[in-house]
A = this chain, B = another copy of it.
Amino acid sequence: MREFIVFARKAWTKPFNLNDLASAGRMDVIARCVSSALFISYAIRKDTNIYISLNGPPNPPVLLKFFGDRLRGVYYDERSVAGKINEALKKIDETEEKKEIEVSKGFLVSKQSFENFLKKKALERKIVYLHEEGKDIREIEFSGNEIFVVGDHKGLPKKTEVFLEKLGAEKVSLGPLSYLASHCIVIVHNELDRRGL
């Protein structure tokens, strides 16, 4: 199972206007990440999960979980993905409970923090942090049991980088340029596809 987590620094944690994703803390960036993680031509990647940590106003953090093997009713355009995220934000806004909510099949939302989620993940998976200064992805061996950490267009805050370092995350680079978050996910997928992982 391939796993990605995106740290969205400014993406809103309340419902937003589907006609203006950019103003909702660049929710369009997040929608494209989900789409890049889960879709190939005419199919969904059943072997992939993507998690999004929303850290923008007014009530951070919110954690979204998309499970490729059982996801239903999501299409790959920005508006469709953003519509699902909006559903999740409405549900989490209306509830007082702390527990995880299933928004629809294969799509969950909770108030869990990036740090808390990743600390648990680190017990079972190697953490790979996609970063321009890392080692070249083509030179690195993978087991297929990694979780790839992606920053959004604002990058990761310094304290989050320190946290990742303490967790033993390995920095991996994708090429000589700095790519958009969703494009990073495409490149990682292609590399793992080639290795049959």
Enumerate chain A interface residues (CB-CB to B < 8 A): 18-19, 21-22, 28-29, 32, 36, 39-42, 75-80, 153, 174-180, 183, 186-187, 190, 193-194, 196
- Nearest CB on B from A21, distance (A): 6
With most chain B CB atoms within 10 A of its CB, the pick from A19, A21, A40 is A40
- Nearest CB on B from A49, distance (A): 18
Which listed residue, B21, B40, B179, B180, touches A177 by the CB 8 Å rule?
Answer: B40
Question: B residues within 8 A CB of A32?
Answer: 32
Q: Given the complex of chains A and B, what is the CA–CA distance between A161 and B162 in angstroms?
A: 52
- Nearest CB on B from A83, distance (A): 11
Question: B residues within 8 A CB of A196?
Answer: 176
Given contacts A77-B28, A77-B78, contact A42 B178 (CB under 8 A): yes
CB atoms of A22 and B77 under 8 A apart: yes
Question: B residues within 8 A CB of A40?
Answer: 177-180, 183
Write 10 A-B pairs (CB below 8 A) sorted by A numbering: A19-B19, A21-B79, A22-B77, A41-B178, A41-B179, A42-B153, A78-B79, A174-B190, A176-B193, A187-B187
Q: Given the complex of chains A and B, what is the CA–CA distance between A196 and B19 in angstroms?
A: 38
